[in-house]
């Protein structure tokens, strides 16, 4: 597609439930990133994929968070046993090279009630 | 460790010039990127400095001095639509290219 697509745009879930957030990067971009952003803060790094493998998952806050990118394109961020503190906007970005910059999707606003 | 410092807020008037400074400490430094984010929107890539010096893109310019661990974004001929948050972000190379964002600078352009 023309840009990074994230679905759903909004997700409301009950505490303790499992959620999946999807990211469809720009075609041909081998690098894919997940961030989350709370109000008034900058994007917080979660995980970075180069191709199918997670090159850096040091930002995942705990083992309830997991992400996959099985075919090197679409990625899914999975959150188990959601907590109210997980509420944030989850942003996905993809890039081709370092100096071409990363292109962000519009994000998924996750609300845990 | 890694740290980034930017002013939290800057106010300027339409037509003016504003400079947003960024100082950083990172290991494995590989250049400096700048992103713009409007309220409720996604971050948008503005520029990347891989080497020292000035990069110009239209009304926006970005400068980097690696020896001083310092960079800035210069916005000229400010327009109301430039009101947004601006983030400097040093990528890390090697096995990872993650961008580290600080809390950003909120620019308010007044008429």
Q: Note the helical H segments in chain A.
A: none
B34-62: average pLDDT: 93
pLDDT of residue B58 exceeding 60, the answer is: yes
pLDDT at A9: 97
Residue in A with minimal Cα distance to B34: A101
**Which residues make beta-bridge pairs with B22?**
B71
B47-59: average pLDDT: 91
- Among A98, A107, A109, the strongest candidate for a mutation testing the B interface, having the largest count of B CBs within 10 A, is A98
Chain B, residues 78-97, CB within 8 A of chain A, namely: 85, 87, 91, 93, 95-97
Neighbours of A26 (CB within 10 A): 18
**Cα angle A99-B104-B8, degrees, rounded to a multiple of 5:** 145
B45–A103: do the CB atoms touch at under 8 Å? yes
Residue in A with minimal Cα distance to B41: A106
**Cα angle B69-B73-B77, degrees, rounded to a multiple of 5:** 160
CA–CA dist A91, A34 (Å, integer) = 6
pLDDT of residue B93 exceeding 60, the answer is: no
Place of tokens 């410092």: B5
Q: Chain B: nearest CA to A61, how far in angstroms?
A: 15
Which tens digits make up the pLDDT trace of B14-25?
999 999 999 988
Which tens digits make up the pLDDT trace of A33-85?
999 999 989 999 999 998 898 888 999 999 999 999 999 999 999 999 999 99
pLDDT at A5: 97
Return the closest-CA partner of residue A45 out of A98, A102, A109.
Answer: A102
A33–B99: do the CB atoms touch at under 8 Å? yes
CA–CA dist A25, A55 (Å, integer) = 17
pLDDT of residue B8 exceeding 80, the answer is: yes
Neighbours of A24 (CB within 10 A): 18
Q: Which of A60-69, A70-79, B70-79, B89-98 has the lowest mean pLDDT?
A: B89-98
pLDDT at B92: 60
B95 pLDDT tier (thresholds 50, 70, 90):
very low
Q: Which residues contact A31 (CB under 8 A, 6 or more apart)?
A: A48, A49, A50, A94, A95, A96, A102, B97
């Amino acid at each position: 597609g023309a840009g990074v697509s994230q679905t759903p745009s909004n997700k409301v879930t009950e505490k303790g439930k499992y959620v999946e957030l999807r990211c469809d990067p720009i075609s041909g971009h081998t690098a894919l990133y997940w961030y989350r952003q709370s109000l008034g803060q900058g994007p917080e790094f979660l995980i970075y994929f180069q191709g199918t493998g997670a090159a850096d998952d040091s930002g995942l806050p705990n083992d309830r968070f997991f992400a996959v990118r099985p075919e090197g394109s679409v990625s899914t961020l999975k959150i188990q046993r959601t907590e109210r503190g997980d509420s944030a906007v989850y942003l996905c970005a993809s890039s081709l090279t370092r100096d071409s910059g990363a292109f962000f999707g519009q994000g998924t606003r996750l609300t845990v009630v | 460790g890694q740290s980034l410092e930017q002013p939290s807020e800057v106010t300027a008037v339409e037509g003016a010039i504003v400079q947003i400074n960024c100082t950083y400490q990172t290991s494995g430094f590989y250049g400096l990127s700048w992103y713009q984010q409007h309220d409720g929107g996604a971050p948008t890539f503005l520029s990347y400095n891989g080497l020292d010096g000035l990069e110009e893109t239209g009304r926006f310019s970005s400068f980097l001095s690696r020896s001083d661990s310092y960079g800035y974004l210069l916005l000229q001929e400010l327009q109301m639509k430039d009101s947004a948050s601006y983030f400097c972000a040093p990528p890390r190379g090697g096995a990872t290219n993650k961008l580290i964002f600080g809390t950003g600078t909120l620019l308010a352009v007044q008429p």
